[in-house]
Chains A and B, each alone.
Chain A
Amino acid sequence: MTDHSEIDSVTGRATTGHEWDGIKELNTPLPRWWVICFYLTIVWSIGYWIVYPAWPLISSNTTGLFGYSSRADVAVELANLEKIRGDKMAALGAASLADIEKDPALLALARAKGKTVFGDNCAPCHGSGAAGAKGFPNLNDDDWLWGGTLDQIMQTIQFGARSGHAKTHEGQMLAFGKDGVLKPDEIVTVANYVRSLSGLSTRKGYDPAKGEKIFADNCVACHGDGGKGNQELGAPNLTDKIWLYGSDEATLIETISQGRAGVMPAWEGRLDPSTIKAMAVYVHSLGGGK
């Protein structure tokens, strides 16, 4: 021992010689097993470094001795998951749309699967909660351009609308102004007539009889008598409270003058059939389905 140490008179133990503000440090050696354990953890950690991928290199890392990698682990887990899901997805593919909705387990699976696929593929246009936006239908409500039954929804997802697919929905709103079919004042009149169909206010001095006539001559072919719409052609119901592009006069004038032709892509070929089925069930269960 060096001359730094002394024996503490109270405890009779040696001090380390360290003293701060009159407080001296007793020399209390660690138990041997403790120190041994400590060294063992160091040895263990070195072993760990060598056995497992650890050291970062410039563009990769050391791979360890047993070729273990957490990425490979994840891949295996994912493969297992696919295998487990495979059977269930097969069951989904085999069941009819109506049966899926009646079976709680299949419904839950379809909704879960549909929700993720919807988020990946449909959310950019329809919104993550399928609430839609101007020009992009809200799928939670009960207003369907191309029909809201399970089969109709599925068909729309499969083939799209104006998508260029051979079986796609066709039909578009003509540009009555741009094409010179209607004169500007006629467009204003028929726009007001359309507003009156769903009980909205009309501009002062507007002539309802004239509006009805213009409508009958130009619009009934697609929107039907009284403007109730036609799902064959994707022509919206003009008497309800839901407007895809907006119900104010200016928007209606723009719609009638310029026409509308929103595109829904066809998902057949891009998503497998059982996934499309799951998505149809999901969209239908959002609540607006017929």
Chain B
Amino acid sequence: MNKTVNPKDLTSDDDVGPLYAARKKVYPQSVQGTFRRIKWGLMAFCLGVYYFLPFVRWNRGLGAPSQAVLIDLPNSRFYFFFIELWPQEVYYFTGLLIVAAVALFLMNSVGGRIWCGYLCPQTVWTDLFYAVERLIEGDRRERMKKDASTDPMKLERISEIVLKHSIWLLIAWWTGGAWVLYFNDAPTLVKELVTFQAPMIAYVWIGILTATTYVLAGYMREQVCTYMCPWPRIQAALTDEWALNVTYRYDRGEKRTSVKKAAELRALGEQVGDCVDCYQCVAVCPTGIDIRNGPQLECIQCGLCIDACDNVMAKIGRQKRLIGYDNDINIQRRQEGKAPIYRIVRPRTIAYSAIIAAVGGIMIYVLATRTLLDINVLHDRNPVAIKLSDGSIRNAYTARLLNKSGHDRVIAIDIDGPANATIHVVGADSVTPDRPMIVIPRDSTSELRLLVTAPAESNPEKSIPVHFHVTDIGLGEAASTIDNFVAP
């Protein structure tokens, strides 16, 4: 039977079995317990934040949007409570992405797929859709019976189905609707949406997100986690022997048998485990697997099987947590009769926490020291330096002045470079002796051409630094930058 096949002999004819398999529908049963409560709580929190955040107001003064969280695409601005980001500041998002990725690693090294089981949008919405389904069509057994039934459809059944899909679509539509509110003033957009005055693109996006929510949470469900999401594969490579994963403690569970039989066998002095083979853990599993087969790719570690088994154990008076969050090392140790050990603080978690703290710290520092006035200067490359008729040397620069504040500013530009050097700004609005001034409208950038001239006698031998200072005449707010002054 166990015939070895030489790869060279293989032809396509050797492929056997079906090319594809129909999906086996999963009918998770409802369950109560610690982890289910945590999941309800987190679901309420996540959905609450997602649906209502756009309506939170934030006063930024006249002319500025008063929405706490707003992605203003037409004006290329991002508002997050007291923070306003410009396109030049995308590095904050880079920082955020780094923190998010490392936080995922950290979660993973502490408690396995906490993200998958409790926080992932796919999990949250699927859970919500299951709740609706259960409310209308009943629990696992009822649903299975109804789906398997070959009776002609009764009005009651049809109305059930219609009701379920209507509620699903309603949730999906609200999900898509909330999405677009992040891109526009929410109350205004809601008004426009209901009066059909909103831009086409808003309706298109609501349509797309309604469809994806409905299909992914209503139909695809665990298939998304198993076949579409890359994280299970990545996670498998990131986990280690200390990570707490949902685990069936087979050292305690085997061999499985009924309560009655177990008592009999025990009396005979045979080794039996605590698992009574009731399949409750399988019945509640939203991905339809049997955790007792060991760690599996499909397991999103939602902890529902822990609750299910705990309930069984409580009923038959055995110790809880036959299934629990545990690590690989303890399975080994318990088999050897040693006490389990848990270690959350270890090099890996310290490293991840340090990275998060470092990147987060840098971001907070940069944010805290960020000015609403800024200047960037670029030295002209062609020509680098110009000799003037009186022998003095001039360097030209392209400057970008940023006024991120909500009011127009009068800005003076000073330099600090070669001795007696003067600055000229092409198109300056006014010039007091050697001090060009320029008006920058609120919330905008101005590109300026700066000419710095050093008299012949102070011509530098080599390139020397030159500082550019910009000062708001009214408020005194200042910014500066540095470049070089070179002789030909």
Contacts and interface: CB of A to CB of B under 8 A. Distances in A.
Interface in A1-38: 1-6, 14, 16-20, 27, 29-35
Interface string B334-359: 00000000000000000000000000
B17 A287 contact: no
B427 interface: yes
B389 interface: yes
Given A2-B14, A141-B387, A287-B396, A31 B7 contact: no
Contacts of B16: 1-2, 4-5, 14, 16-17, 27
Interface stretch (A78-86, A124-132, A153-161, A272-280): A124-132
Interface stretch (A46-54, A60-68, A188-196, A234-242): A234-242
Interface residues of A, number: 44
B10 interface: yes
A17 B5 contact: yes
Main secondary structure of the interface of B (DSSP, over half): loop
A19 B23 CA distance: 27
A29 B20 contact: yes
B3 A29 contact: no
A29 B1 CA distance: 22
A29 B18 contact: yes
B85 interface: no
A286 B449 CA distance: 8
A150 interface: no
A242 B388 contact: yes
A187 to B, nearest CB: 25
A35 B20 contact: yes
Interface in A81-132: 101-102, 104, 107-108, 111, 127-131
Contacts of B148: none
Q: Which size class do B's interface residues fall under?
A: 35 or more
A230 interface: no
Contacts of A3: 1, 3
A32 B22 contact: yes
Nearest to A7: B1
B424 A29 contact: no
A17 B391 CA distance: 87
Contacts of B19: 29-30, 35
Contacts of A287: 386, 394, 396, 424, 426, 449, 451
A200 to B, nearest CB: 12
A79 B474 CA distance: 45
A152 interface: no
B269 interface: no
A108 B387 contact: no
A237 B10 contact: no
B371 interface: no
Contacts of B365: none
A172 interface: no
Interface in B1-52: 1-5, 7, 10, 14-23
A285 B388 contact: no
Nearest to A100: B427
Main secondary structure of the interface of A (DSSP, over half): loop
A101 B428 CA distance: 9
A84 B394 CA distance: 37
Contacts of B396: 140, 286-287
B14 A4 contact: yes
A3 B1 CA distance: 7
Contacts of B380: 129
A286 B386 CA distance: 11
Interface in A202-228: none
A142 interface: yes
B75 interface: no
B15 to A, nearest CB: 6
- Which residue, A20, A101, A287, has most C-beta atoms of chain B within 10 A? A287
B160 interface: no
A102 B389 CA distance: 26
A285 B450 CA distance: 10
Interface in B367-398: 380-383, 386-391, 394, 396
A285 B447 CA distance: 13
A131 B381 CA distance: 11
Nearest to A13: B17
A111 to B, nearest CB: 8
B451 A29 contact: no
Given A4-B14, A131-B383, A30 B20 contact: yes
B390 A240 contact: yes
A257 interface: no
B14 A17 contact: yes
Given A1-B17, A16-B15, A19-B5, A33 B23 contact: yes
Contacts of A30: 19-21
Contacts of B386: 131, 138, 140-141, 287-288
B420 interface: no
A140 B383 contact: yes
Nearest to A24: B2
Interface string B445-475: 0110101000010000000000000000000
A285 B383 contact: no
Contacts of A108: 447
B227 interface: yes
Nearest to B453: A287
Contact of B7 (A20, A33, A138): A20
Nearest to A127: B382
B223 interface: yes
B214 to A, nearest CB: 15
A128 B15 CA distance: 66
Contacts of A129: 380-383
A14 B389 contact: no
Contacts of A31: 20-23, 223, 227
B17 A242 contact: no
Given A17-B5, A30-B20, A129-B381, A143 B15 contact: no
Contacts of B451: 287
Contacts of A16: 14-17
A1 B13 CA distance: 11
Contact of B389 (A20, A141, A285): A141
Contacts of A142: 388-389
B23 A32 contact: yes
A147 B451 CA distance: 20
- 8 closest A-B pairs by beta carbon, nearest first, are A129-B382, A240-B389, A131-B383, A29-B21, A35-B20, A241-B391, A27-B17, A140-B386
7 contacts: A16-B14, A16-B15, A17-B3, A29-B17, A31-B20, A32-B23, A288-B386
Given A5-B17, A16-B14, A29-B20, 13 more contacts: A17-B3, A18-B10, A29-B19, A29-B21, A30-B21, A31-B223, A33-B223, A34-B227, A129-B383, A240-B389, A287-B424, A287-B426, A287-B451
